[in-house]
Structure 1
């Protein structure tokens, strides 16, 4: 089983999974697509050079893994039912988030009954900038307790944001959410995550005809400490550390910046912990597939060596319950009649 025979279910966001599988040719062999007979599914299967199946029963018995990239029941789709049908046929499954916690429990149960692996995928937690931010957060938390969490996201990626915050804090319990009002396109949420006071802005709007666009941001977070703030500016970075300004007595009293108590003022006001953020083209074409690849490799490790594989089930169940609490508090997104895309060039000094 050096190469796991894999079927891809879904060809919308599944395009990114297709690129991820293409980047791991020694580990996975794409043997077919499972979907409808729509134009996108047909053309994707032709481009990939694999058959298109329209029913679970059509999937050959020698398939090892299925990537289910179809909306789950919590999003009004059949993804969770499809995942369990594949698990019942002895196929290991990687299913894209978000997933209702009841569906997640049922899928874990079905996987155990049939002796196969089932994982929830969340590429955001695998992004380089997110990993850098979360690792830095854990390093600072070992020295100081966080005193606030300030975050923002589009509602489409509210689940990934919660996952990202959980990675950084090491725990999501206890959590609490309360909508405090609205300001422009954002719903204002207060509460706590992992016991840390939270202020969260959610763009709770969706353009029904174009739900993947018109987001003012993806995921943004600042974890604050007595010593400063650690900021993830968006899913693609950058990550920065801004020390809290403290003006010592020597500066206030004598404007003496050479005094011992003013040494800390010589450091940068803001330090960046990662590389320059990528272009959106590179982010979509390279960074996202690579992040999915990390989830794929984790599933492969669990398939080949179940005894030593990590077991994220309790944490993922907690995330799904927390996301359900948040979306219930937010209520349904507002319909957005979005205008056409109007690209803007980066403003320069000469534009002032």
Structure 2
């Protein structure tokens, strides 16, 4: 499974950039025939396809980077059509669990593999957080999760937590405190108490932008807290501070725990620049997701294991979106990002 067709050229440009390097080969673009899609096909030197039945002639798998039905697009119908033709599919999130169940049945009957891609858990800083969280869980029981995200990437946040905690089950979102720009949610996820703040706002004039942040996550245990400052790093470990008392009531400053630094960066101390994120980090994440699809196709494992996990995750995401309610609609102008030097 090396030949890949990309469907959609908006966020699909990240997938196209990912396929500029091996081990996978871009062999076509499937789109409705817009001038933009035609230009992308010329740029990459591949044919522009307009029907799903053309894909098996040039590719083994397709990346469907088209909005699914739950967010107002026809990506799931396109996914089902490709699977019916025996084409393996990597589909961009989010997908309603009912839609996902349908395409998983189609995949099974066609002998094809379907994977849902949330992208962010495939990024190096997030993978570092997930791996450190798993090591922490092996040592101590997690006591709490404190997190924040934009509504745009809430599904991916739940995926990050599901992988970090081992499972999304059990989950509950007990209450919400509406606010602007953040709506507060209390509950639990993976059986761990959760506090979550969601920027529940969308700008229809620029719907993929104007996010105050993507993800910020702290996982706490008896021994300290692990914080992913934002989706692209850095990752910080903060040991639990404890200062005992001598018999006379003075601070016991000789304890071994007091030798620990109050915070340590795990991995690079600085997050990458935004240009590096878009041109390198995100394409690398796409290649990892494609590698996972390739391994599922060639490895002989259960092709539905990822799907079963995402069915649970999708139900949790629906519960979360019901809890926070409909997003506030805003009209926004492009922001002026500030450099650190301007406030230092």
Q: When the two structures are superposed, what TM-score results if normalisation uses the length of structure 2?
A: 0.95
Cα distance 1:310–1:108, how it changes in 2: closer, same or farther (>3 A)?
closer
> Residue 271 in 1 paired to residue 269 in 2?
no
Query: Are the equivalent residues in 2 in contact too, given 1:96–1:122 (CA < 8 A)?
Result: yes
The alignment partner of 2:116 has SS state of strand
Give the alignment of 1:1-352 within 5 angstroms. Answer: 4-24=2-22, 27-250=23-246, 253-255=249-251, 257=253, 259=254, 262-275=255-268, 276-307=270-301, 311-347=305-341
Could you say what secondary structure the match of 2:40 adopts? Answer: helix
Task: Please say if residues 56 and 87 of structure 2, whose CA atoms lie closer than 8 Å, have aligned partners that are also in contact.
Answer: no
1:192-229 deviation per Cα after TM superposition (whole angstroms, max 9, x unaligned): 00111111000000111111211000011101111111
CA distance in 1 between counterparts of 2:197 and 2:66 reads 27
Q: 5+ unaligned residues in a row in structure 2: which ranges?
A: none
Q: For the residues of structure 1 that align with 2:57 and 2:339, how far apart are their CA atoms?
A: 52
Aligned residues: 343
**Residues 57 and 247 from structure 1, CA distance in 2 versus in 1: closer, same or farther, beyond 3 angstroms?**
same
Residues 96-145 of structure 1, C-alpha deviation per residue, up to 9 Å, x if partnerless? Answer: 11111111111111111111111111211111111111111111112211
Contact 1:126 1:294 in 2 (8 A): yes
Q: Could you state the TM-score of these two structures normalised by the residue count of structure 1?
A: 0.93
Q: Which segments of 5 or more consecutive residues in structure 1 lack a partner in the other structure?
A: none
Q: 1:118 to 1:252 in 2, by over 3 A?
A: farther
Q: Distance in 2 between matches of 1:227 and 1:60?
A: 53
Displacement after TM superposition at 1:332 (Å):
1.6
Over residues 22-55 of structure 1, what are the superposed CA-to-partner deviations in whole Å (9 max), with x where a residue is unaligned?
222xx32212111122232121111111121222
In the superposition, relative to structure 1, how do residues 210 and 304 fare at CA in structure 2: closer, same or farther (>3 Å)? same
1:219-240 Cα deviation digits (max 9, x unpaired)? 1110111111111111101111
2:244/2:251 contact within 8 Å kept? no
**Residue aligned with 1:141, SS:** helix
Equivalent-residue separation in structure 2 for 1:60 and 1:101 (angstroms) = 27
Q: Deviations over 1:232-264 (max 9, x none)?
A: 11110111111121111139833553x3xx221
Contact 1:302 / 1:310 at 8 angstroms: preserved in 2? no
CA distance in 1, matches of 2:194, 2:257: 29
**2:104–2:304: 8 Å Cα contact kept in structure 1?**
no
CA distance in structure 2 between the partners assigned to 1:230 and 1:251 by the alignment? 33
CA RMSD of aligned residues (A): 1.8
